[in-house]
């Protein structure tokens, strides 16, 4: 039987949250992330860190949470019915960064660990997570860099790792009711355990750490390069319009949001990913051959960014 070191996972997650907040606060240069520690009545708690109306980051949230309960929620048992009736512990770091500048993309990352236990039975555990990028005015250079760092995170774990989790990301961050992908992808993985990968606990944990550690390596250089570019009011309006798609995905399709709400999680922390400013327009269409049209016509079509 493998040793499952829950305390080591918790320690890593808190360290990851601290490191990311520190580096992003440097990029903003004006504000820091406030700390909001909370407890969950049913068991567990967390530390939510939020920045609003910074010089660079309009809204950013980096959330650590640890929750436990006696029954897995429907969002978790829908695709794994064998979990029904088990107690669970879930922990993770989840973040979304919405920069003010339309030329700086929104980014998302999360890494998480679940363990479901029942007396007299082997525990069922797995890791999940990933990171993805949602540009508004995109360019190939950023897309290629983002995916190269994603591949770097995967390389120590086998050559099949990056294409597998890159495709899973493309498939997952798809807004079905709009027939659009949310962004240019990255990595998405779930149910990573010994049964699905042949890795032991330590190897699975190492993979989650690699993804978590590579997020800031992928995002910080892009944010630094784009955060001070001049932009027009029209470009700002387009950014707010496209943020609406981000909100729609998170509220309608995102499994993490559903899990948090169904487990009685802290609503403020679950919805911290929503941007401060967003707009919707009725049946708006971009002008043909414009940079706005280029986003959906070219960049939001999944492709092998490392060979374009």
For tokens 């978790």, name the residue.
Answer: 76
Which are the catalytic amino acids? Answer: 108
Confirm whether residue 80 is marked as ligand binding.
Answer: no
Confirm whether residue 79 is marked as ligand binding.
Answer: no
The two three-digit tokens of residue 274, written as one number: 């929503």
The 124-134 sheet, strands edge to edge: 34-39, 44-52, 57-69, 87-99, 106-117, 124-134, 185-192
Confirm whether residue 236 is marked as ligand binding.
Answer: no
Confirm whether residue 110 is marked as ligand binding.
Answer: yes
Confirm whether residue 265 is marked as ligand binding.
Answer: yes
Residue 97, SS3 per DSSP: strand
Task: Report how far residue 169's alpha carbon sits from residue 301's, in angstroms, rounded to the nearest whole number.
Answer: 13
Long-range contacts of 293-296 (CB under 8 A, 24+ apart): 294/138, 295/135, 295/136, 295/137, 295/138, 295/242, 296/180
What is the DSSP code string of 17-64? Answer: HHHHHHHHHHHHSS---EEEEEE-TTSEEEEEEEEES-SSEEEEEEEE
Confirm whether residue 252 is marked as ligand binding.
Answer: no
Confirm whether residue 307 is marked as ligand binding.
Answer: no
| CA terminus-to-terminus distance, the chain | 46
Query: Which H or E run contains 186?
Result: strand 185-192
Helical H segments across 227-290, by residue range: 233-252, 255-262, 267-270
Confirm whether residue 147 is marked as ligand binding.
Answer: yes
Q: Round the CA-based radius of gyration of the chain to a whole number and report it.
A: 19
Cα 220 from chain centre? 15
Helices 6-28 and 201-226: angle between axes, nearest 10 degrees: 10
Confirm whether residue 264 is marked as ligand binding.
Answer: yes
Confirm whether residue 183 is marked as ligand binding.
Answer: no
Confirm whether residue 98 is marked as ligand binding.
Answer: yes
Residue ranges for the binding site for substrate? 94, 110-112, 264-266
Residue ranges for the binding site? 94, 98, 108, 110-112, 147, 177, 264-266
Residue ranges for the binding site for a divalent metal cation? 98, 108, 147, 177
């Amino acid at each position: 039987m493998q040793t499952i070191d829950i305390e080591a996972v918790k320690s890593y997650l808190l360290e990851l949250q601290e490191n990311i907040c520190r580096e992003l606060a440097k990029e903003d240069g004006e504000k820091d992330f406030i700390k909001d520690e909370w407890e969950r009545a049913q068991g567990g708690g967390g530390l939510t860190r939020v920045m609003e109306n910074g010089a660079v980051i309009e809204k950013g949230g980096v959330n650590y949470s640890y929750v436990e309960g006696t029954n897995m929620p429907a969002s978790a048992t829908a695709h794994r019915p064998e979990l029904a009736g088990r107690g669970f512990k879930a922990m993770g770091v989840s973040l979304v960064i919405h920069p003010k500048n339309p030329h700086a993309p929104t980014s998302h990352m999360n890494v998480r660990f679940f363990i479901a236990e029942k007396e007299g039975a082997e525990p069922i555990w797995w890791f999940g997570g990933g990171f993805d990028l949602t540009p508004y005015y995109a360019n190939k250079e950023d897309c290629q860099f983002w995916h190269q760092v994603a591949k770097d995170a995967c390389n120590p774990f086998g050559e099949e790792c990056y294409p597998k989790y890159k495709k899973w990301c493309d498939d997952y961050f798809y807004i079905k009711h709009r027939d659009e992908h949310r962004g240019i992808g990255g990595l998405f993985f779930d149910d990573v355990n010994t049964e699905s990968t042949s890795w032991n606990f330590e190897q699975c944990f190492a993979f989650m750490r690699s993804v978590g550690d590579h997020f800031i390596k992928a995002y910080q250089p892009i944010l630094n390069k784009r955060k001070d570019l001049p932009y027009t009011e029209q470009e700002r309006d387009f950014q707010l319009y496209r943020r609406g798609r981000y909100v729609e995905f998170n509220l309608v399709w995102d499994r993490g949001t559903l899990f948090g709400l169904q487990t009685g999680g802290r609503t403020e922390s679950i919805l911290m990913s929503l941007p401060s400013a967003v707009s919707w327009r009725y049946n708006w269409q971009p002008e043909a051959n414009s940079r706005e049209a280029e986003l959906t016509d070219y960049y939001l079509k999944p492709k092998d960014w490392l060979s374009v």
